[in-house]
Structure 1
């Protein structure tokens, strides 16, 4: 195991050295052993005493080089230069034997120069939600940051009500956001912008250096990876909720979880963040907002690229998104021989789900049952005639396929999850954890680690939400 601190050492002008502020009566509650092994962390890190020594001691490996990062961001469309790591610290970078680089970042670390009027803490509720969501998305195959461990405490933290403080260590390729580049561009600190680009090209986009225009190729990689991520969000029914540009990663990974939600009943205009009064980040707006954010990021490339060069790269976003989305949706319907009318079939399916308010994930899973009769299928819907017409069209389309029904069923089951992280499931786990019982968190994580399997002993986790768990209002507050 090797810890590096390349960001803190190479970009001293862009960070503020800090130390972690310990919580009252901390307890290590969740530890991601498979991720720790992937990061090649010393097994002793899973021991509370050793982890806390490294995290809270002034000489600890996870504390003595910790830094808070400065950035800005477009929040609900408005530019805000007064952002940064207000409750988080970049602890270290793990470098594996294969040369893979992983940031370790602590959320809830205490006040920093960028906390503004905040206390620098995270609450147990939000740390559990991020832990669950990042692992759920990872096992669905959606690019995301990962959760390494969660620490609870007895320390009171005040939000809409009194809660308790908690900490989360997360890992990802880096914590470079769109907002990092935006800030140094808009503040006209071009020397610092140069240093940031040089760092990114050296440590995270080294292959771009081999191209005639490294900055243009880097922008292209960010554009394409973002398009791929959004295509997966849409095909799995995931709503992020706060797609501010400071919450967008240059690696095309899902980042900074807040009032997220997976779709229950399909609603193309679903808004998961009750603070999003205008619906800027509604489910059907996510593809357009991602492009808007990419345009905002692209301004920081103007010292290195012409406007035409930037436009040429940004123009690649939409066809990439549509191509990836179409491919995913075909797979979800078991269509392997692309036909011109496939998207019409997909859109008819989604329109039918929305009209009859059918559950998004359960309805796709229903299609995996190749033995389902027409009557059984029609019974799932309210508009029976429309359902019958679509089913006949779908069966006719499947006749073109060369895969056997059995092979197609197996394939469809691997892209249509039976288990997703519904908000009510997360809330049950949170309620029990706030009483000191983390067993439901652990159980839910086990179920979500195998979202495509039947898991007959855990059928209740695949159920539709009870009445109290429908249309839950989740805020940004953490």
Structure 2
């Protein structure tokens, strides 16, 4: 499935240990009855110097059995964190504050430097109970793992900052869930993230009025994750970074037609990557009221309300940072969110449309015209961007709603051509809910993983055409 990337050097890290005990609890992974490897992201593994087989110089050579040992049984990776850490945090869940959460079915168990010199975490989902599991079993359904792989692969291809699904291992347990047919199959997922520090991590420290720990966390995020030297106001510098990155993420969600479903403050990290995928969906058409979660009865996290939700979330970070800094400079930065989001959304739409930006005003005008036409025409989002890539709109009755877009596009030039074979396909690559359910049905009914692997390969091929 994966390309054959040049492996990076394996450079293990333990930076998170410098935060100290107030930030996590050392835990033990669950013992699973089986370990069946269902997905391995060789491309992501190569970027942190972890490769299968014999390896090359300065890489960590992992055989298939060693892969299962490290990413299914969680034997420590050489030179990295010696024991898994369940992270502590609070969060607003559907805008109601909850101080009784934390890593309830996951942990961070390794850190490494990637081929871009970024500090990355290897974290889990479904790895067993922790002090924050409450009444949960700490497990992940296999269907949930399959869905997360598909979400992260599609978002990466569409240029959305996201965690990477690193490994999916079926674990041989039967799980009972109230919202899907049970018993169902189980799995443990490993994801590669630039950070697992959430807005909710800061909220917990504010709740506990722990200014010393807050200063320590600000320094960790600013220096280790954002690579900045602290100035006279490190908390303001940090907040500015987070506001910009979250605004960018919100803009790219919209261009991708993606609905996360659960944009709680414990699901928003401070490096601006989307992660922790539950009831996600891609919107078939530009419908601002489209929701992903069946329990989002009021549409709080509907497609078109995601930018507002992200703005609200970073406002909660500002409230938490009041523990260590005065409000006025935080408010000043917070007020930049709408403009930064609008700019990021326009850039993301032009990227997906395959044209080069001209200037902010023109780009915003084109983006506004495009979203208006998509909303009024009800043209499928994936179909539009497939047909119009490069900035050349087809003629015909189906395209009359896009005449204003066509006129504005006359000033734009393609950022790449349509020579990739993907553009000769009859239909675009997509991953709408019906396709997800069909992929899962093949696995659940016949243990047929062919449609899953074929879809991952198709998504990566589309990503190559868009890149």
Please give the range of the TM-score, normalised by the shorter of the 2 chains. Answer: 0.7 to 0.9
In the alignment, what sits opposite 1:195? 216
Render the CA deviation track for 1:183-242: whole Å, top value 9, x for unaligned: 111122333323322332342234141x33221111100000111111111112111110
- Measured on the aligned residues, the alpha-carbon RMSD in Å equals 2.9
Tell me by how many angstroms 1:133 deviates.
1.0
The answer to whether the aligner puts 1:25 opposite 2:25 as a matched pair is no
1:36-55 equivalences under 5 Å are: 36-44=45-53, 47-55=63-71
In the alignment, what sits opposite 1:225? 245
Select 1:181's aligned residue among 157, 182, 202: 202
Tell me by how many angstroms 1:79 deviates.
0.3
Change (3 A) 1:37 1:56: closer
Aligned-partner SS, 2:108: strand
Q: Distance in 2 between matches of 1:445 and 1:24?
A: 27
Q: Distance in 1 between matches of 2:314 and 2:99?
A: 17
1:64-75 equivalences under 5 Å are: 64-75=82-93
In the alignment, what sits opposite 2:128? 110
Kept in 1: contact 2:86–2:108 (CA 8 A): yes
Select 2:94's aligned residue among 50, 70, 76: 76
In the alignment, what sits opposite 1:121? 139
Kept in 2: contact 1:361–1:418 (CA 8 A): yes
Change (3 A) 1:76 1:395: closer
Change (3 A) 1:79 1:372: closer
In the alignment, what sits opposite 1:449? 460
Tell me by how many angstroms 1:67 deviates.
1.1
The answer to whether the aligner puts 1:294 opposite 2:310 as a matched pair is no
1:399-438 equivalences under 5 Å are: 399-401=410-412, 403=413, 418-434=428-444, 435-438=446-449
Kept in 2: contact 1:418–1:453 (CA 8 A): no
Change (3 A) 1:59 1:280: closer
Tell me by how many angstroms 1:348 deviates.
4.7
| The 10-residue stretch of structure 1 (330-339 or 7-16) with the greater mean CA deviation from structure 2 | 330-339
Kept in 2: contact 1:418–1:452 (CA 8 A): no
Q: Distance in 2 between matches of 1:328 and 1:251?
A: 18
In the alignment, what sits opposite 1:384? none
In the alignment, what sits opposite 1:214? 234
1:124-163 equivalences under 5 Å are: 124-160=142-178, 161-163=182-184
Tell me by how many angstroms 1:60 deviates.
4.0
Aligned-partner SS, 1:328: helix
Q: Distance in 1 between matches of 2:138 and 2:279?
A: 19
Kept in 1: contact 2:429–2:459 (CA 8 A): yes
Change (3 A) 1:46 1:421: farther
Q: Distance in 2 between matches of 1:342 and 1:355?
A: 20
Change (3 A) 1:169 1:323: same
Kept in 1: contact 2:36–2:169 (CA 8 A): yes
Aligned-partner SS, 1:84: coil
The answer to whether the aligner puts 1:366 opposite 2:387 as a matched pair is yes
Kept in 2: contact 1:31–1:46 (CA 8 A): no
In the alignment, what sits opposite 2:303? 283
Kept in 2: contact 1:5–1:65 (CA 8 A): no
Render the CA deviation track for 1:98-120: whole Å, top value 9, x for unaligned: 64321111211111100000000
Q: Distance in 2 between matches of 1:346 and 1:100?
A: 32
| The 10-residue stretch of structure 1 (222-231 or 258-267) with the greater mean CA deviation from structure 2 | 258-267
The answer to whether the aligner puts 1:257 opposite 2:271 as a matched pair is no
Change (3 A) 1:150 1:46: farther
Select 1:235's aligned residue among 255, 258, 263: 255
1:283-322 equivalences under 5 Å are: 283-322=303-342
Render the CA deviation track for 1:232-262: whole Å, top value 9, x for unaligned: 1111211111000000010011111111111
Change (3 A) 1:373 1:285: closer
In the alignment, what sits opposite 1:463? none
Tell me by how many angstroms 1:46 deviates.
5.3
Change (3 A) 1:258 1:420: same
| The 10-residue stretch of structure 1 (218-227 or 362-371) with the greater mean CA deviation from structure 2 | 362-371
Q: How many residues align?
A: 439
Aligned-partner SS, 1:74: strand
Tell me by how many angstroms 1:166 deviates.
0.2
Q: Distance in 2 between matches of 1:201 and 1:342?
A: 31
Normalising to structure 2: TM-score of the pair? 0.85
Q: Distance in 1 between matches of 2:27 and 2:316?
A: 30
Tell me by how many angstroms 1:307 deviates.
1.0
Change (3 A) 1:307 1:418: same
